[in-house]
Structure 1
Amino acid sequence: MARMRLLGLQWLFGWMNLALAVPAIYLMFGMPVVMRQHDWSGTEIGLFQLAALPAIFKFLFAVPVQRMRLGRGHFVHWLLLLCVALLALYWQLGRANLIDDHALLFALTLAVSVAATWADIPLNALAVQWLPRAEQMRAGSIRSAAMFLGAIVGGGILIVVQARHGWQAPFWLMGAGLALGMPPFLLLCSRAAPRGAMAADQAPEPGMLADWAGFFGQPGARQWTLLLLTSFPFIGAAWLYLKPLMLDLGMPLERVAFIVGIVGGSTGALFSLIGGLLIPLLGIARAIVLYLLVTLGALVLLTLTVWMPLGEEGWLIASAILVAAGMGLVSALMFGLTMCFTRRQRNATDYGLQVTLFTVARLAVPVLAGMLLDVLGYDGMLAVLTLGVLAAFGIAFRVREAVARSTQPMLVERDGPACP
């Protein structure tokens, strides 16, 4: 019975991570297609992406979530409060077609980005609080899979829904998905709080800077930070430029959208789940090296395919799928280890700090890659990204044992907080 409760919690957290990921993906990565159809300029579409900036301030959003107590089970109350705010924003966005009201659409999208980014903090703080440490690597893989599924839903399915059923339909669907995940948290909050939650509620609060310094004072935290900053951004940048690469090599738009959006997204989700299942079998140290090695192999194959070229479209498709698989494995590892390095009494602040570091690196590398593309072309850009993954692999090889030693006691902990 306890196992079934844990499984239910895992999928509840996965559903809510999906519900919070979809709106930002839909508004900022799906909507540009619609914007272009309504004569938005390239500059306007580019400036619209600034609505994603709240993600880099997650470490600041985490502070009030950690410190402002909203009663017993305050993380649940924070989550539900922010979800209600999101529902109100969906209603406002869906009242009328705003595609021609650029300023209002940007303002509401920015508000959605803030609310969804903020709600992610109490949600994943609850995952750290309510799941035993031995379950948190699996929670990370489920969250990674939810991100890939969110890209399929927000970047593809909802665009089709809007084209066929009108402006309002996607907002109604996103609101329904979010509302569906809220009642279980309310029910769980009404029960006895987990032991870890009670300890967190009673913990004295240090100063904000001391809180962040305490995170880096954990055994293995500095090595983990190097891994966090380097493991994903290079493969993520390659994935971002895959669509324009395929288009420039002559592949039809619909085929590119299917391969990268549907097949690639599904592959990433599948390998996120596989990666989470393999980590307990491989161990942290071997998983770090193996997953980075798969990522390196994917970029080497993609680079050789573009350089040589190998002459068949099949090689390019195989490279794209392998890149998606590597992204799924690495992101599952990153999300899982993020939870492992989140202290129970500092759930929100530790999680927010780590995700901010991850986001800054993830946003910075694609910008540099774009500059390299303009100067060196696809060949040069991919070569530099491959060298970046090679450097990340070298870092991973050096820090793997320190990270594994630090997380092993957490992963074998079987007497974590009871299920609520």
Structure 2
Amino acid sequence: MRFIEFGATTPTAGAHLKPLNGIGKVLMTRMRLLGLQLLFGWMNLALAVPAIYLMFGMPVVMRQHGWSGTEIGLFQLAALPALFKFLFAVPVQRVRLGSGHFAHWLLMLCAVLLALYWQLGRENLIDDRLMLFTLTFAISIAATWADIPLNALAVRWLPRDEQLRAGSIRSAAMFLGAIVGGGVLIVIQARQGWQAPFWLMGVGLVLGMLPFLALRSWTAPRMAMDEDDAPEPCVLADWKGFFSQPGARQWTLLLLTSFPFIGAVWLYLKPLMLDQGMALERVAFIVGIVGGLTGALFSLIGGRLIPLLGIARAIVLYLLVALGALILLTLSIWTPLEGEAWLIACAILVAAGMGMVSALMFGLTMFFTRRQRNAMDYGLQVTLFTASRLAVPVFAGMLLDVLGYGGMLMVLTLGVLAAFGIACRVRETVARSTQPMLAGRDESA
């Protein structure tokens, strides 16, 4: 009788435990994914801050120390390595550094960055123009290169339906990096001296490196499972294979047109507001801090809304927000409406639209990165994105000199309108091509 009672009660107790075990597994999985998302977000921030600090924050200091406008302009050439990310991706994809080689590539390049921080921070180089440019150029190469294995790991470790969120977090990290590198570190340097920003950037990088050191062994079985044992194709065949993916050509057209025009508007917002009579400190606060926080917030909101809206609707809706922001900003220049409130509202709306569009672009970039060609596909897409992002502001600057702010904004608004038209035509193709990727999510995640 005791045996019967024991046997009868045991399955009942197990039945109560099974749902609890299932809930526990779900919670553990979500906590692991959240930890990975935060880790990738932190590392994207740590890699973005040095370039922003040196190329967008430092010109203020340079001007104070007698640098000419030409010298400051030529210093921006240190950003050129970003155009060659597709070439940096080749050794990352093909040169194996043992099991978990993407993590090893990332750690090696971060170690190079730390060495460059130490070299640059040893003494004040603001008057040694050549050495400052050389070390900044080297930092740009190392940070650009390290971005490839970092985001290749994001494609490999995160399930497909988490990669849109990773894109939004990365976009938010870029906006926060602009606040830190373009504002906070400049203040710290003014108060604590030349070395302080480099120490802080080094500490932030080390904090991001430590989890990757611990996760190297964890990556080994997943990498072995995902690797293709077939012989590597030639590099040109790899790039051609990217464009052979369903929807890849339509996506590339969207990638080239969606962000650069609103990005160019953001670049010229500070001069525009200054020329409208606003004080420098007020412009820096509104665009640099409030605008940056707005962009980061709407990057996260945009990433959360994509699964609810669907990719096809999100593509059109986000570009419509960007288009509306540019129309209102253009009207604020053309019409006799006066007062800072209207211009500030337009600037905040531009930041919101840019945050939503960039979150979508970064997320879909991961979607169109093949798991067997993580580094190559990611490097190629980011190179295309960077080339258009750098080319449009140069064109916009020429328009500003010839047509003024009103004419420049009108042309850039027409550019976003063209991107919106392209989005309406390709959205269904791009959305359909992502469905198999979402269906093929990692079972082990």
TM-score normalised per structure 1: 0.98
TM-score normalised per structure 2: 0.93
Q: What's the counterpart of residue 133 of structure 1?
A: 160
Q: What's the counterpart of residue 353 of structure 1?
A: 380
Matched, 1:319 2:346: yes
Structure 2 Cα separation of the partners of residues 197 and 15 of structure 1:
26
| Unaligned 5+ runs, structure 2 | 1-27
Q: CA deviation at 1:201?
A: 6.0
Q: What's the counterpart of residue 217 of structure 1?
A: 244
| Unaligned 5+ runs, structure 1 | none
* TM-aligned CA distance change 1:143 to 1:29, over 3 Å: same
* TM-aligned CA distance change 1:174 to 1:192, over 3 Å: closer
Q: What's the counterpart of residue 253 of structure 1?
A: 280
Structure 1 Cα separation of the partners of residues 388 and 358 of structure 2:
14
Q: Deviations over 1:58-112 (max 9, x none)?
A: 0000000000000000000000000000000000000000000000000000000
Q: What's the counterpart of residue 81 of structure 1?
A: 108
* TM-aligned CA distance change 1:105 to 1:58, over 3 Å: same
Q: What's the counterpart of residue 215 of structure 2?
A: 188
Q: Is the 8 A contact 1:242 1:260 kept in 2?
A: yes
Question: How many residues were matched structurally?
Answer: 418
Q: What's the counterpart of residue 372 of structure 1?
A: 399
Q: Deviations over 1:189-231 (max 9, x none)?
A: 1225253553226353110000000000000000000000000
Q: What's the counterpart of residue 128 of structure 2?
A: 101
Structure 2 Cα separation of the partners of residues 103 and 150 of structure 1:
26
Q: Deviations over 1:310-346 (max 9, x none)?
A: 2121110000000000000000000000000000000
Structure 2 Cα separation of the partners of residues 414 and 356 of structure 1:
26
Q: What's the counterpart of residue 234 of structure 1?
A: 261
Structure 1 or 2, whichever has the larger Rg, is 2
Structure 2 Cα separation of the partners of residues 408 and 56 of structure 1:
30
Q: Is the 8 A contact 1:129 1:194 kept in 2?
A: no
Q: Deviations over 1:162-198 (max 9, x none)?
A: 0000000000000000000101111111225253553
Amino acid corresponding to residue 176 of structure 1 in structure 2: V
Structure 2 Cα separation of the partners of residues 386 and 256 of structure 1:
22
Structure 2 Cα separation of the partners of residues 135 and 5 of structure 1:
12
Structure 2 Cα separation of the partners of residues 279 and 227 of structure 1:
16
Q: What's the counterpart of residue 205 of structure 1?
A: 232
1:45 to 72, 87, 91: 72
Which is bigger in relative contact order (C-alpha 8 A, separation at least 6)? 1
Matched, 1:55 2:82: yes
Amino acid corresponding to residue 272 of structure 1 in structure 2: S
Matched, 1:270 2:331: no
Q: What's the counterpart of residue 308 of structure 1?
A: 335
Structure 2 Cα separation of the partners of residues 202 and 332 of structure 1:
34
Q: Is the 8 A contact 2:312 2:427 kept in 1?
A: yes
Q: What's the counterpart of residue 143 of structure 1?
A: 170
Secondary structure in 1 matching 2:406: helix
Q: Is the 8 A contact 2:167 2:359 kept in 1?
A: yes
